[in-house]
Structure 1
Amino acid sequence: MYVIEGLNQTKTEFFRDGMPRRIEFTLSLKRVDESLSDMFGDLSAQLNNLQETATSALSDISKTVGGLLS
């Protein structure tokens, strides 16, 4: 994983109205190694949350469609 340490921006070559025609930037990154479990968290808990959310959404859709058809 990387984190942004710095961002520098330079505007040059301007249009007549003052807007920059050319924008250059420099991005400084730093690599930060983590374990996969730190990066992604508990995948089992994420899967359970996703299943619950999908089940709830399908239930809501079913109720809405059922209400429209009756």
Structure 2
Amino acid sequence: MNQFLFDHQISAMKADRSGTADERRALFQETGDQAGRIAAWRKANGLSNVGWPQDERSSLTDVRKPADSEGDAA
């Protein structure tokens, strides 16, 4: 997925700096194709095509040991 996103961003930057209308047209097409590949990957992996996927891993607070009630009072 990171490679898909990287390639999409590079295409967008190239399109922004392209010299001719034909170059821009080709790069916008490439950028759109890459966006389609990202959407297909997300769909194939059961992810929404809108926004960032939820991170289902435990947060750091879930894995830390509870504070020691005697030593932490200050």
After TM superposition, is the score higher than 0.5?
no
The interval holding the TM-score normalised by the smaller chain is 0.3 to 0.5
Larger radius of gyration: 1
TM-score by length of 1: 0.38
Instruction: Provide the TM-score with structure 2 as the length reference.
Output: 0.36
Hey, which of these two has a bigger chunk of strand by percent? Answer: 1
